[in-house]
Every structure is written in C-alpha cells, then in structure tokens.
C-alpha cells in the first residue's frame, strides 16, 4: 500500500528557528494563510483516510486539508527535543559550546538532553507501520520533519549523517510504498500542494541545525 505524508504548516517558532519538538505550538497567522493555498491532488485524496499527529499544528493542517476531523496517531508525533525545546541553535551554541554540533554528528544516535534520538523515532514509526501495512482505504498523514526523516532513513538506508538523499521541501506531499515486514520504498517526493501559477506566501523555514530528520 502507499501512504502519503505531509508536514504541518508553519508556526511562529518555525519562523524564529526555535526547536518545537513536543511543544504544542499552533500554526501562526501566516501559517494558516499558507495552508489555505494547499490542495492535495484529487487522485490521492479520493476515499483517503486522514491521520494526524496529536500536536495542534498538525491537527490544524489536517483539518483544513481533509475538510474533516482527522484520526489522531501518536506514532506521528514529532521527535522529543527534551531540554532544547524552545531554543534556537544559536542559543544552544552560546550556552553549551559545540556540544550540539558534536551530538549532531552521531546521526541516528543524536539525542538532545532528556529527549529522543532519531533512532527512537524510527523504532516507533516501524512499530506503527506494522499495524497499517496492507490496510485500506489509503492513508494521508500529517506529521513533522522528524517523522519524515525517519521514513526517509527507513526507505533509503540513510544514517542521518551528511546530506539527506532527498531534500524534502515544505508545502509538498511525499508517498511511500509499505509492505509486510515492514519494508518501505520511496514512490515520489515533493509533490506540490499549491497549484501551478498560484502565488505562495510562506514564512521561511530556517535551515536545519542538525541532520534533517531531526528538524523541529
């Protein structure tokens, strides 16, 4: 089966470069204006079942795109950034020196103090995929960059060091093929959610301070 994944719309903390993690930050005013322009291709949306991370920024995004209340799935929740939530990369660097950079070099085993590692996120995503592989109707999931990075690692073998094999862009949809096991393969990435020719007003998402799987 194919499952489609979408990252939530922008928040004020995204614009400020703050690590959100499990903090329940809503979409910003600009973020709501941004997702108002998003549309899922009809061929994918027909008869789809919508799932969302329980965090409000994802729920708001799913609610708009689905035109209905999504089912909540805890496995789609963002990576827990522990003690670093609410801080920017620059603030952590000033406080902790190069501890952030050295930690980030560990790739899948990067772990913020008191938080999750990307490997932890991969493990919970695998557990969830085992429960939905082969289910119907097709699924569209609204989630976070941490989960998208975990999916990319599963599908490509990326160890989250160096550049990702595919740069997952905002305001796009990503499809993966899930089979028993579970095994995961990329079907297509960066399917635009904005119709060609439409004007997009989107607050900038800050550049990743660590491997992209662990973005806020």
Which of the residues are catalytic?
8, 78
Which among 155, 88, 79 has a CA at the least distance from the CA of 117?
79
- Burial class of 167 by CB neighbour count within 10 A (0 to 12, 13 to 18, 19+): exposed
Helices (H), the chain: 12-16, 29-35, 42-45, 56-66, 89-96, 99-104, 118-132, 145-156
Are 31 and 37 in contact by the 8 Å Cβ rule? The answer is no
Which among 102, 108, 111, 192 has a CA at the least distance from the CA of 152?
108
């Amino acid at each position: 089966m194919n499952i489609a994944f979408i990252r939530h719309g922008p928040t004020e903390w995204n614009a400020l470069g703050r690590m959100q993690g499990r903090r329940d930050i809503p979409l910003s005013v600009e973020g709501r204006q941004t997702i108002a322009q998003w549309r899922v291709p009809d061929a994918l949306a027909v008869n789809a079942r919508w799932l969302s991370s329980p965090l409000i920024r994802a729920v708001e995004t799913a609610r708009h795109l689905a035109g209905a209340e999504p089912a909540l799935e805890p496995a789609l929740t963002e990576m827990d950034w522990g003690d670093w939530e609410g801080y920017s990369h620059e603030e952590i660097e000033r406080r902790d020196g190069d501890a952030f950079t050295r930690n980030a070099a560990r790739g899948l085993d990067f772990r913020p103090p008191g938080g999750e590692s990307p490997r932890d996120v991969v493990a919970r995503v695998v557990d969830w995929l085992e429960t939905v592989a082969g289910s119907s109707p097709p699924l569209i999931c609204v989630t976070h960059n941490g989960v998208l990075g975990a999916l990319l690692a599963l599908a490509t073998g990326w160890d989250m060091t160096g550049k990702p094999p595919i740069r997952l862009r905002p305001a796009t949809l990503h499809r993966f093929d899930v089979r028993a096991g579970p095994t995961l393969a990329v079907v297509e990435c960066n399917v635009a959610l904005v119709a060609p020719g439409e004007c997009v007003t989107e607050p900038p998402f800050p550049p990743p301070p660590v491997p992209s799987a662990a973005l806020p």
